[in-house]
């Protein structure tokens, strides 16, 4: 088997060969030659050691880094548009998860990763949920199929998270700012939520006569109970990290600015219990499962409700979208 140093040497030789071939090219041709087709680049990265596999990956909406000592992969959302689950962000998340799953297909004595940590590079914001502009545009255009496709893309990722990508890992959501709507749903889908004290959580969709359709009721009704799940959804209330910790929805609350340190501390404390904790998680899923089909069925109800929104509701979405944009501008 080729060791890491040998693979690094081969990768350096390949890079040198590409650069040499590019010397005689015009600048525009050099740029095109240095950027292989996305499929070829992904295939090349899949053959590299794990330390290099993610270093060669390129994501427009994500920042990815590996901690080999803790067998932890960190990925931070850094949207170029709204801090929401835009189609571009969903595409990057799907590509990253496919690469992680391929790592586990390699023959190895030990799993390449034990933990996957999801965070955000947007100051004071984890994620504000669905792409409101996308919602409003498709509802006004009466494009039910387009809206449903987007919702199903969201559900596919949420379900994948709720099953830890079907891998022997734990998915940790590091929430250092507001997790609203779909952002809260994404955090709920993870195995563990670690939040800084300033973080806020909520489901504001009721403000424009809609409900959170990408897993909120499914997750909350199991983590809490159906009555409290309904109350949280219908109230539109914003909760603090400490409040959700008392309710059992947030696992760890740390001081502001110490989120990453809190995640590392959690991993160090729990890594030796990884196997039994994973088994207990599997027991919980077996006793109280959430199926992909359940989430799809709820999404179809959500699409029906969205398509029935009136002009007054859409104007509220527009105003909320505008408020989000001003908030982003103020943080720059």
C-beta pairs of 188-193 under 8 Å, 24+ apart in sequence? 188/215, 188/216, 188/219, 188/220, 188/223, 188/249, 189/158, 189/159, 189/161, 189/162, 189/215, 189/219, 190/118, 190/161, 191/164, 191/281, 192/251, 192/252, 192/266, 193/244, 193/249, 193/250, 193/251, 193/252
| Tens-place pLDDT, residues 78-132 | 988 889 999 999 999 999 999 999 999 988 888 999 999 999 999 999 999 999 9
Distance CA 134, CA 136 (A): 6
| Tens-place pLDDT, residues 258-287 | 999 999 999 999 999 999 999 999 999 999
What is the number of alpha carbons within 13 Å of residue 274 lying toward its C-beta?
Answer: 17
Neighbouring C-beta atoms of residue 104, cutoff 10 Å: 15
Structure tokens at 185: 């749903």
Least confident window among 84-93, 134-143, 318-327: 318-327
The stretch 34-62 carries a mean pLDDT of 61
Domain 39-260+273-331: CATH superfamily, name plus number: 2-enoyl-CoA Hydratase; Chain A, domain 1 (3.90.226.10)
Structure tokens at 260: 């990453």
The stretch 239-263 carries a mean pLDDT of 98
Going by pLDDT thresholds of 50, 70 and 90, the confidence category of residue 19 is very low
């Amino acid at each position: 088997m080729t060791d890491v140093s040998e693979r690094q040497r081969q990768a350096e030789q390949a890079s040198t060969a590409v650069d040499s071939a590019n010397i005689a090219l015009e600048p525009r041709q050099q740029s095109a030659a240095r950027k292989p087709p996305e499929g070829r680049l992904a295939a090349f990265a899949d053959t590299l050691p794990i330390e290099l596999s993610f270093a060669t990956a390129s994501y427009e909406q994500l920042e990815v880094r590996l901690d080999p000592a803790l067998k932890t992969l960190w990925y931070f959302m850094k949207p170029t548009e709204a801090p929401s689950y835009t189609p571009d962000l969903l595409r990057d998340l799907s590509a990253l998860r496919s690469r992680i799953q391929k790592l586990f297909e390699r023959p190895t004595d030990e799993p390449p990763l034990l933990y996957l940590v999801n965070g955000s590079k947007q100051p004071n914001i984890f994620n504000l949920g669905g792409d409101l502009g996308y919602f409003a545009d498709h509802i006004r255009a009466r494009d039910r199929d387009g809206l449903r496709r987007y919702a199903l893309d969201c559900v596919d990722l949420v379900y994948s998270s709720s099953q830890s990508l079907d891998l022997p890992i734990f998915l940790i959501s590091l929430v250092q700012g507001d997790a609203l709507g779909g952002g809260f749903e994404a955090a709920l889908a993870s195995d563990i939520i670690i939040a800084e004290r300033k973080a806020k959580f909520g489901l504001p969709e009721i403000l424009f006569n809609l409900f959170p359709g990408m897993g909120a009721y499914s997750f909350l009704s199991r983590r809490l109970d159906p009555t409290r799940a309904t109350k949280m959804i219908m109230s539109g209330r914003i909760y603090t990290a400490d409040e959700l910790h008392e309710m059992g929805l947030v696992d760890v609350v740390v001081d502001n600015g110490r989120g990453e340190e809190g995640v590392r501390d959690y991993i160090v404390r729990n890594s030796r219990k990884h196997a039994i904790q994973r088994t207990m998680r599997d027991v919980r899923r077996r006793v109280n499962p959430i199926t992909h089909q359940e989430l799809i069925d709820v999404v179809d109800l959500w699409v029906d409700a969205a398509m029935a929104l009136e002009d007054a509701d859409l104007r509220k979405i527009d105003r909320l979208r505008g408020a989000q944009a001003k908030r982003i501008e103020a943080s720059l």
